[in-house]
Amino acid sequence: MSETEADEGRAETAGGPPGPGPARRPRIAAAIAAAVLFAAVAAVLALTTPWNPLPGRVPGGHAKADPSLDFTSAEIARSRAFDSAVNPPAYTGLAVGLVLILILGLTPLGSRFIGWVTTRPHRRWLRIIVATVALTTLLRLAGLPFDIWSESVLRRYGLSTQSWPAWLVDQLKSLGVTWVIYTIALLLLYALIRRFPRYWWTGAAAGGFVLVVLVSFIYPVAVEPVFNKFHSLERGPLRSELMAMAQRDGVPVEDVLVADASRRTTSLNAYVSGFGSTRRIVLYDTLLKSPRPRIESIVAHELGHAKRDDVLWGTLVGALGIAGALCLLYLLMTSPRLLRRAGVDPGGADPGGADPDGAGTAGRGGGAADPRSIALLLALVTAGTTLAAPVQNVVSRRIEARADAHALNLTRDPATFVSMQHELSVRNISDLNPDAMEYLLWLTHPSGPDRIAMARDWARMHHVQAPPPLH
């Protein structure tokens, strides 16, 4: 018998995680469920992601994504300088946050920290709340210097218009939203772990799926207003044309909203939010100063998302992935070796002590059910989301490119599309020549030159005058 199997056998005797023999069936079932769910996600992504968003032969071959064709040397230099200034805090902040949570989760430091902050609360649910708030606050404070550094860069380049007190209020709002979401999720999860120590992964997978879908419905109407004020785009030629364009496109849109983004930033943006009865197109108020054809071009892109139900599709695929991840989490959170590494006794009582209902075994109060394991859980979640990000970014870029193609098909105006992408890139100081690491970690959209090259390909494919180089 291997050391791991022996550990699991001893843990099972003590009432802990499942050991060998029949008691290992839940782990085997969870492993199979995780494999099936991840295979389903991979199949859905492989079959439904628009890997070629502009299908067909391009006469004369594909256009080259060359920033020098459409951007001045000064614009290219400014983009490079901004990229060099904003990358250090972004990369350093990511590394520090990741290292910190891994140290807290994969060593006894995290469990000791939770034990320290939860010495007074005796009720389990209150200890979970305190531990969650304390850990998420600690992680936010660790990242705060790098957030301040990044904000300073945005101010230096004229992208941020916020005062420091207003910026700090936004940080506190963001932390508050994190507290609410994490606390609700962890209270539900730890209730399942404690009530069904061997099969909690089944309820967690189903509950995780439902929670992701529920948050997608709630977020546009409950969370977005916390950070921005919205109002319907006033009646007039622009609103009439945008609503008429949506009607021509066969896309039911409840409203076109304007967000007061100018109190934070000078950048341009628009997005589609929600689905069903909550679907709306949101324009930054900074965008309203652009020429109307350019606004129509960017809204046509957003209609492409709505027509394809990209928000709903992303929600369901993400929910499926979360369900698989929770099955995998069960396997990791019931590993005696991993629990010991995290400073949690896999077979002992919850040292928090006085549970009102007297649960004291690892299956009911200790092991994975011990609130001190929250640090380990957050470390595993962070590692998983970090590893998944590159895949999400690749898929997102293809979906965004398909929405670009939709905008071109709807407006049949590649010249305006090119001028809009140029304006977006210059105003937002977008990276005009991202390196491989930036594509891997950050880029959810194609670069400006990539999008402009697609517009020229579309023009040649549809026998429309290809937009000439802007510079």
Known binding positions for Zn(2+):
301, 305, 400
Distances (CA, A) of 228 to 160, 163, 258, 308: 15, 15, 10, 26
Cα–Cα distance, 91 to 435 (Å, whole number): 14
Closest CA to 444 of 456, 430, 455: 430
- Residue 404 is a catalytic residue: yes
Question: What residues are designated binding site?
Answer: 301, 305, 400
- List residues bridging with 232 in a β-sheet: 257
Please give the structure tokens belonging to residue 465. Answer: 């005058």
Buried b (16+ CB within 10 A) or exposed e, 395-430: bbbbbbbbbbbbbbebbebbbbbbbbbbbbbbbbbb
Cα–Cα distance, 437 to 87 (Å, whole number): 11
From 8, 151, 296, 404, the catalytic residue = 404
Neighbours of 119 (CB within 10 A): 11
Neighbours of 183 (CB within 10 A): 18
From 302, 413, 431, 450, the catalytic residue = 302
Question: Could you identify the residue written with the tokens 């069903």?
Answer: 276
- Residue 435 is a catalytic residue: no
Please provide the size of the chain in residues.
471
Q: Contact 353/227 with Cβ under 8 angstroms?
A: no
Closest CA to 27 of 43, 11, 39, 40: 11
Active site residues: 302, 404
